[in-house]
Structure formats: C-alpha cells, structure tokens
Amino acid sequence: MTVPLSRLALLTAAVTLSTSPGSASAQSYSGPKVNLTFLHGFTGPDRPVMEGLIKKYNESHPNVQVRGQAQPWGTTWQQLPALVASGKAPDVVVINEDQITGFVARGAVSPLAPAELKVAGISKSNFFGPLFATADYKNQAYGVPISSVAYVMFYNKDLMKKAGLDPSKPPKTREEFLKVAQACTVDKSGKKAGQAGFDPKNLDTWGVSLYNNWVGARAAYAAILQNGGQMVDKSQNAAFNSPQAVSAVQFLVDLVKQGVARPNSTEEAELAAFSQGKVCMFPSGQWYLDRFEQQKMNFGVTFMPRVGGTAKDAAWGGSSHLTLPKQTSSYDANKRKAALDFMAWMSLPAQNLTWTTTGSLPTQATVAKNAGFEKAAISGIFDRLNSVYATSGYPWVGQVMGPFDQAWEAAYLGKKTVPQALNDGVKESNKQIEQARKNFQ
C-alpha cells in the first residue's frame, strides 16, 4: 500500500535544517529597517503555510518586516503592469511559469544581476537546472523558484501484478511502456490486446489513459521533447509540427488503434476509471496524489516514460517564482537588498522542505534527498526532477499552447490526421504570435 507523505516528519526535518550550519543567507540584510510588500497567489490550503513562513522570517529578521498579500493569480496578472507603470509595484511578487516571460518582455520585472544574487547567497546551481531556467530570458535571470509541480505517471500496482509484471519496476522506455500497456489491456471475454478475437470496444481493463483536454495534451508535450522536438524555434515561432513532433504524437494516437487506450475520453472519465482499478497507467498532474492516497489505492508514481523517443527524459512542469518588479528610479536601494535577502531565505532548503507539505515538489536536490520522502509515493519521480520542463522562455505561451492543445484534441479524437492537426495548430499559433509581438518589447 502507498505510504502517504508525512507532513509532521517533513516539518520536523525542516526545523532541523533551519538550525543547522550553513542554513542562513550568505550575507543577511543589515541595513536600516524596511517594510516590504509581498504579493502572491497562494490562496488555498497552502496559504497558512506561506503565512507561517513569512511570520518566521519577520521574527528572525527584526530590521525587515514583510507584509504578505494573497490574491487570485488572475488578479495579479491583470494588475501588475499598471502597478509597475504607476510606480506602486509591490516589492516582491510570485509569478507562475506560463506568465513570467511575458511580464519580463513587457519590462515589468527586474533582472537579477549575478553579483547581487551572489551577495544574497542565491546560487542557481543549488536548484534543478530547468526549473531555475524557467525564469530566465535572453540569458538573464529574473526569478527564483519557490514552488513546483509536474506531470507524472500514476500506475496501479495490483493491475501490474495481476498481469504478471513487477510493480516495483515501472516502465521507463517506450518498449517497457508498451509491454505494460498491452499486458494490462483485457477485454470482457478475457482476451488481451494483440490476441486473436480481442475486442477493443468492450474493455474490462486497459493499459493507459489518454484524454482530450490541456492536461491530456501534456503527455504529447512530453513526448515531443523526449524525441528532440520543441514547441518553438529559435525565432520563437511555433514549431510543434516538426518531424520529431509528428512522430511522437503519432505514437500516442496509435495507442488507441492498438486498443490499449480508450478513444474519445475525458480526464474525468479516465480519473474515475483509475480510481476504480480499470486502467493501469494514468498520466496526469501530481495534484491527484492526495486523492489516491485518501482512497487507499495500491498505486505508484513514476516519471513520464520515454514514450516519444530516446533524445532525453522530459515531462511538463509548472512552477512559481519569486521576482522583483521593476521600480522607479527613486526606489530605496535598501528595500531591494532586503527583498533579495527575503528571496534567499524563502528558497533555502529548510523553507522549501516546509513548502513541500503543501504538495509542492522539492526545488532542489538537497531537499529531494531528505529522509522524510523515503516512503512517499511521489519520490518515484525524484531521480528525474532535473528533466521537468515548463512552458516558458517565450512571451506568448498562451498563443503557442492554446493551439497546441486544440491540435492534440483533434488528433486524439481522430478529427484530423496527426500531421494535419499539428500543421493547422502551428498555422493558428503563428497567426496569434504575429499579433502578440506588437505588445512586447
């Protein structure tokens, strides 16, 4: 049975980390007392944890007082440009992976110079590389990661065992993935996929969940990257119709033809099927972890197998980053130094470990190695956290991913061939990008 993540154990470990040598910033702020405003979107069950961290920082830094302000992410995206333009921007803002490059390109976020990061004790080498790079733009850093999620592969250990497979060895390669998918696909007469008389229209259990929304499309996103493809080219135009992309997406669509995945399905239907023990592998966001633990399912979590190709391991990830909005020329230099100190403290291993109790992933290898995770199901992806890639690095993420999600749906549902769906998606994406370029620097 899967062992739930022990929040108490992790919090205890966090206290130990926070009192151990080397846990403080390289050079804590020592200037005159300043007050900082900290705008973030952690408004759910994670809000008390964030408020607790802010309180702890304030208590240990008498010359800096941080006032947290929580509001919906969408409100921040609407307000931030105007706040910056009017000279009323908060001192620190948390910005998510799909928004940060857009705000950087609009000039709303201040770059973080290597010298000031060094003084504050923030080293990008401490973090998972792709995660830290999510807030980079044109070879300059603009944010420090504070929270992270990923697209993972949940799998039913009982179904694997029933099919004669070892549930302690989840698939990593395309071949291993296909072996599991085929072995776990059985029709109502007891015939398996590939056997004579197998009826894919009357499945009792099936190998893998595919579905038609943006979350389902992240399986295709991962497959494209695994095969050496990219979402955009060097000119930041849409490029998800490359030969590598077509090949990767075609493999996923063909799973339906092979009978190991259901056609015309939805995330809700596949989620219910996994909960009911009807599907072996359910690729989705890690946010379903608590649900499966509460249902006391015998499941595991592994990194997205290399279904797309052999170029590299890859999975989609989402993240939130501490940033410094652009301020007026008269902005107090001491406030910037204090803000950097706050960012450094918030990103230390002890604070990150505390933050993982909200369901976030570790942002750095030191935290991922903590003994508190040893029996946690989510630790099944920790060996490849350095291969989680967010949709960032270009200002028009929405103009790329929206048409891409529609292309995936058209291909998966069989409304278009894979090449036609991806070509049409790229055409629509570049049409939107052409308009979007007018709004960016």
pLDDT at res. 27: 60
Is the whole-model pTM more than 0.85? Answer: yes
Residue 286: pLDDT band with limits 50, 70, 90? very high
The 10s digit of each residue's pLDDT in 43-53 is 999 999 999 99
Q: What is the dihedral of CA 287, 288, 293, 297, to 10 degrees?
A: -150
What is the overall mean pLDDT for the chain? 93
pLDDT at res. 7: 47
- Whether residue 25 is predicted with pLDDT greater than 60 in this model: the reply is no
Q: Determine contact, residues 19/11, Cβ cutoff 8 Å.
A: no
The 10s digit of each residue's pLDDT in 151-165 is 999 999 999 999 999
What gap in Å lies between CA 68 and CA 77, rounded to an integer?
Answer: 17
Q: Where in the chain is the domain with CATH 3.40.190.10?
A: 7-148+317-389, 151-316+394-439
The 10s digit of each residue's pLDDT in 110-146 is 999 999 999 999 999 999 999 999 999 999 999 999 9
Cα 191 to Cα 180, 185, 198, 397, 410, distances in angstroms: 15, 8, 5, 44, 30
Class of domain 151-316+394-439: alpha beta
pLDDT at res. 22: 40
Residue 21: pLDDT band with limits 50, 70, 90? very low
The 10s digit of each residue's pLDDT in 351-394 is 999 999 999 999 999 999 999 999 999 999 999 999 999 999 99
Mean pLDDT value across residues 299-321: 97
pLDDT at res. 363: 98
pLDDT at res. 28: 85
pLDDT at res. 24: 43
Q: Which CATH architecture has domain 7-148+317-389?
A: 3-Layer(aba) Sandwich (3.40)
Residue 387 tokens read as: 């291969």
- Whether residue 19 is predicted with pLDDT greater than 60 in this model: the reply is no
Residue 150 tokens read as: 């990923």
Residue 439: pLDDT band with limits 50, 70, 90? confident
pLDDT at res. 85: 96
Residue 339 tokens read as: 């803000």
The 10s digit of each residue's pLDDT in 209-232 is 999 999 999 999 999 999 999 999
What gap in Å lies between CA 336 and CA 398, rounded to an integer?
Answer: 31
- Whether residue 23 is predicted with pLDDT greater than 50 in this model: the reply is no
Residue 441: pLDDT band with limits 50, 70, 90? low
Handedness of CA 148, 152, 156, 157 (dihedral sign): negative
